[in-house]
Amino acid sequence: MMEFGIQKGRHTTSVKLPALIKQAVTIIKTELSQSATSTRALVTVAETLYTQYKRADQRLVEYPNFKSPKGYMSAHYPPELYQLGVDTLEVGGVDGKIKIILHRPLPDGVVKKFILSKTPTGEHYVSFTLKLKRERSSGDREVGLDMGIIDFAIDSDGERYPNPKLLLKVQNRIEHLNKHLSRKVVNSKSWRRLKEKIQKFKRKVINRRKDFLHQLSARLVDSCRVIGVERLDIKKMLGDERYRFSISDAGWGEFKRQLTYKSIESNDTKLVFANQFFASTHICSCCKVKRKEKLPTSIRSWTCEYCGTHHDRDINAALNLKRVALEAVEKWKSRSNTRVIFL
Ligand SMILES: [Zn+2]
């Protein structure tokens, strides 16, 4: 058994990194009698653990928990410990080649570390952390983006990005399987097998959703100079029963995270988050006068009573977001390095 001799709470302050590494090295040498390369991997674990405890002592993070081997597990390795083939991976300290499926070639950059992980469903992944050499190119479009439920998003040029509604499609199937599961004896062999099947289903949905979001966010950041989006209070909206399912299915939070980091990586794409109280839906994008009455969600188009313009609800909102984004970029143009602006 490998033990680091660390306890939770106040005892941790006495733990010093060198002692920890020494202990880790001794353990691996005596108990596993492995080569020097795997010692290096264990040292990385010790270092990570030490950093975590130090940060917890400074009250920056929670103290680490003991992890169940059934849950998500991961190990971080330094970059010198891997050899990547076309469909194989060699890891220092591990005998033989591991067969892998490479989703895409590693981008141009320097590998900082790599992580081997195992999901609760027993799938294994390897992921690489890279410092990228190349920045994303930026196009010259300027768009506002209204997030929806029927369509995932609508831009100010009128283009609609349909919502794949991935979870909804398999929701019935998952519910069906869950019903079966509830009839089985908890922790029996067939219960576990079915549970695994359901989790695999869910993981598939998550992966496909991420893929959809990555493609869309990359396409937007690469083609735009300015992107204006709403700063929705997603946590608050998730509390609303009517929206919870659609929003968590659509992955808005993840989409904004991707837009943000891709804009930061970009040459010159500015991402502007409008204030969450900005009434993008209720202001006329032509005369800028705000409607007196609130527009119910079911009304998809309306006519401005001041200037008479007929609006598509979503495109009007997107146009308003574009306008405030352009104004913000103009206002902050002296800060050319800023990529993300919060209003
Ligand atoms: Zn108007």
Mark whether 314 is an active-site residue.
yes
Of the pLDDT bands very low, low, confident and very high (cuts 50, 70, 90), residue 233 is: low
* Number of other residues whose CB lies within 10 A of the CB of residue 299: 10
Distance 311 CA to ligand 1 centre (A): 9
Higher-pLDDT residue of 96, 4: 96
Of the pLDDT bands very low, low, confident and very high (cuts 50, 70, 90), residue 11 is: very low
- When the pLDDT of each residue in the chain is averaged and rounded to a whole number, the result is 81
What gap in Å lies between CA 18 and CA 320, rounded to an integer? 57
Q: Please state the pTM of the whole predicted model.
A: 0.63
3-state secondary structure at position 178 = helix
Distance 305 CA to ligand 1 centre (A): 7
> 287 near 309, Cβ under 8 Å?
yes
Residue 8 scores a pLDDT above 60: no
Distance 307 CA to ligand 1 centre (A): 4
Protein residues near ligand 1, an ion, with CB under 5 A: 284, 286-287, 304, 306-307
Query: What does the block give as tokens for 254?
Result: 């993840």
Closest to 263 measured CA to CA, from 327, 155, 342, 318: 342
Higher-pLDDT residue of 31, 288: 288
Choose the catalytic residue: 142, 155, 249, 314. 314
Distance 160 CA to ligand 1 centre (A): 23
> 318 near 143, Cβ under 8 Å?
yes
| Token pair 């950059």: residue | 109
Higher-pLDDT residue of 233, 268: 268
- The type of residue at 141 is R
Choose the catalytic residue: 142, 155, 230, 249. 230
Distance 246 CA to ligand 1 centre (A): 31
Mark whether 146 is an active-site residue.
yes
Q: How many residues does the chain have?
A: 343
What residue spans of 28-69 are helical by DSSP H?
A: 36-57
What gap in Å lies between CA 208 and CA 166, rounded to an integer? 8
What gap in Å lies between CA 26 and CA 39, rounded to an integer? 9
Per-domain boundaries in the chain: 16-131, 141-165+210-342
Give, in degrees to the nearest 5, the angle at Cα 212 between 211 and 215. 85
SS3 content of the chain, % helix, strand, coil (to 5): 45, 20, 35
Distance 315 CA to ligand 1 centre (A): 14
Higher-pLDDT residue of 62, 240: 62
- The type of residue at 92 is G
Of the pLDDT bands very low, low, confident and very high (cuts 50, 70, 90), residue 167 is: low
Distance 310 CA to ligand 1 centre (A): 8
> 20 near 46, Cβ under 8 Å?
yes
Distance 289 CA to ligand 1 centre (A): 6
Mean pLDDT of 132-141: 75
Residues 6+ apart with CB under 8 A from 182: none
Choose the catalytic residue: 142, 146, 155, 249. 146
What gap in Å lies between CA 77 and CA 22, rounded to an integer? 18
Mark whether 3 is an active-site residue.
no
Cβ-count burial of 271 within 10 angstroms (0-12 exposed, 13-18 middle, 19+ buried)? buried
